[in-house]
Amino acid sequence: MRRAPGFAPFMARRAWRIYPAFLAVFAPMLALTLLAPIPGRLPDGVAGGALGILANLLFLPGLLPFTPALSRGERGKATAAACRGS
């Protein structure tokens, strides 16, 4: 019987499988959001927007007080508030 792999190798393999599909959806959605902004979709300001995008690229929504930046506008307002510290 094989021993189960450790946590780090498991997470690395998981990221290797999931991340390309995530980027295939995230990149066009981000481009569309930047080309046709919808209020509340991304945090206000360059720093807030960059922080929101970075948080999403690192899969932090759900772990930290960020909501998915490319979600519906109302949920994006919560991301903006989290980035501002409100």
pLDDT 10s digits, 65-80: 766 766 655 544 555 5
Q: pTM for the full model?
A: 0.62
Contact present, 69 and 55 (Cβ < 8 Å): yes
Q: Write down the pLDDT at residue 39.
A: 73
pLDDT 10s digits, 16-41: 999 999 899 889 988 888 888 777 67
Residue 53, CB-side half-sphere exposure with 13 Å CA sphere: 15
